[in-house]
Structure formats: C-alpha cells, structure tokens
Amino acid sequence: MAWLPVGSGRLVRKRPKAQVREGLTKMAEQFVGRASEFTDGTRQIVKVGDTEVGVFRHEGNFYAYSNYCLHQGGPACEGLTIAKVEEHLREDKTSMGLYFSEKDMNFVCPWHGYEYDMKSGECISDRKLKLKNYQVVTKGDDVYVVA
C-alpha cells in the first residue's frame, strides 16, 4: 500500500489501480483504508477522479462528503469535528446558556468555519445547503467510497 499525494500535496493511502473497481453503473469504488485502522472520530481524504472526498467514521458509521465547501470552496472535511452548540431555554424562555450537543456532531471547514451536520452533510446555518454525499461500502476490512 502506497502513500500518494493528492492535489494539495497531502498524503493519502491509495491502492493500485487494479483495485479500483467499476460496477455496472460505471461508479468507481475508491479504496479508502482498512476499517480496523479507521478509528472512530477520524477521517480520511481521498482523491476520486478530479475531486476530493472526505470520509469520516463517527459512532461506528461511515459518512463521505465532497471536500469542497459550499461557501468558497475550502477543504470542508479537513477541519475540526466538534459537537453542535446549542442554547437551552427554560419554560419561561430564559436562557440557560450554551451547551455542546450530546447527540449532534458537526465537521467544520477550516477556512471560514462553515459547519456541516455529520449525519446529513447539511450546512447547519442553512439546511437547504448540503454537501454532495457519497456511498461508503466495506468489503471485509476494506473501506471504499463509491463515486
């Protein structure tokens, strides 16, 4: 297994071309990494054709999104992963202050701070904006993104 540079000079693990599979729909499966090495809370950036995809493992599940922020094209998947911030209100509408969510996790574009919902790819500031998502498949211990 080789470490190959993607466009920006970052290193990603990439399998030889023979292991990039193509199905009937011409969708290519790009190898991402070993599931056993892909620990929860981490991410990989993979080059798929001319584009980049960020693959996250969160609470045991894989999520894959375009690595191009919908704002100005920043590397949307390469920043912090951080819980959504919530403001809790009492019944009388007074504020209890700010809290990190116990269930909702976001990933953040490092250029300007655009935050995306880990499970949907929606921009939490405007949920009409949504990153292109990709299917992730596992075959044995191998993780692939379908693009």
Q: Which residues bind another protein (CB under 8 A)?
A: 7-10, 41, 68, 72-75, 79-83, 100, 108, 110-113, 115
Cβ of residue 25: shortest distance to another protein, in angstroms? Answer: 27
Q: What angle do CA 132, 138, 139 make, to 5 degrees?
A: 140
Task: For another protein, give the closer residue by CB, 27 or 96.
Answer: 96
Radius of gyration of the chain (CA): 17
> Which lies closer to another protein via its Cβ, residue 110 or residue 120?
110
Using CA atoms, how far apart are residues 110 and 94, in angstroms rounded to an integer? 33
One-letter amino acid for residue 86 of the chain: E
CB of 89 to another protein, least distance (A): 15
- Shortest Å distance, C-beta 88 to another protein: 15
